[in-house]
Chain A
Amino acid sequence: DSGVTQTPKHLITATGQRVTLRCSPRSGDLSVYWYQQSLDQGLQFLIQYYNGEERAKGNILERFSAQQFPDLHSELNLSSLELGDSALYFCASSPLLDSLTEAFFGQGTRLTVV
Chain B
Amino acid sequence: AQSVTQLGSHVSVSEGALVLLRCNYSSSVPPYLFWYVQYPNQGLQLLLKYTTGATLVKGINGFEAEFKKSETSFHLTKPSAHMSDAAEYFCAVSGRDKLIFGTGTRLQVFP
Tell me the bound Cα distance from A105 to B47 in angstroms. Answer: 12
- A45-B103 in contact (CB<8A): no
- A56-B98 in contact (CB<8A): yes
Q: Which residues in window 81-111 of B have CB below 8 A to A?
A: 90, 94-104
A90-B44, A107-B42 known; A42-B104 Cβ under 8 A: yes
Determine the chain B residues whose CB is within 8 A of the CB of A48 once the complex forms: 97-98
Count of chain B residues near A, Cβ 8 A: 23
Count of chain A residues near B, Cβ 8 A: 23
Per-residue contact bits, chain A 77-107, to B (CB 8 Å; 1 contact, 0 not)? 0000000000000101000001110111111
Per-residue contact bits, chain B 33-71, to A (CB 8 Å; 1 contact, 0 not)? 010100001111110010100000000000000000000
Q: Which residues in window 1-28 of A have CB below 8 A to B?
A: 2, 4
Closest to B103 in A: A42
Determine the chain B residues whose CB is within 8 A of the CB of A43 once the complex forms: 90, 101, 104
Determine the chain A residues whose CB is within 8 A of the CB of B94 once the complex forms: 98-100
- B99-A103 in contact (CB<8A): yes
Report which of B34, B45, B97, B103 forms a contact with A55, defined as CB distance below 8 A. B97
- B45-A2 in contact (CB<8A): yes
Closest to B51 in A: A100
Report which of B45, B95, B104 forms a contact with A105, defined as CB distance below 8 A. B45
- B43-A107 in contact (CB<8A): yes
Q: What would 12 A/B residue contacts be, using CB atoms closer than 8 Å?
A: A42-B101, A42-B103, A42-B104, A45-B100, A48-B98, A90-B44, A92-B99, A98-B94, A99-B98, A100-B32, A102-B34, A104-B46
Residues of chain B touching chain A, judged by Cβ–Cβ distance below 8 Å, are 32, 34, 36, 41-46, 49, 51, 90, 94-104
The 3 closest A-B pairs by CB, nearest first: A56-B97, A43-B101, A105-B44
Known: A33-B99, A103-B99. 8 other contacts (CB 8 A): A43-B101, A43-B104, A90-B43, A98-B94, A99-B94, A104-B46, A105-B36, A107-B41
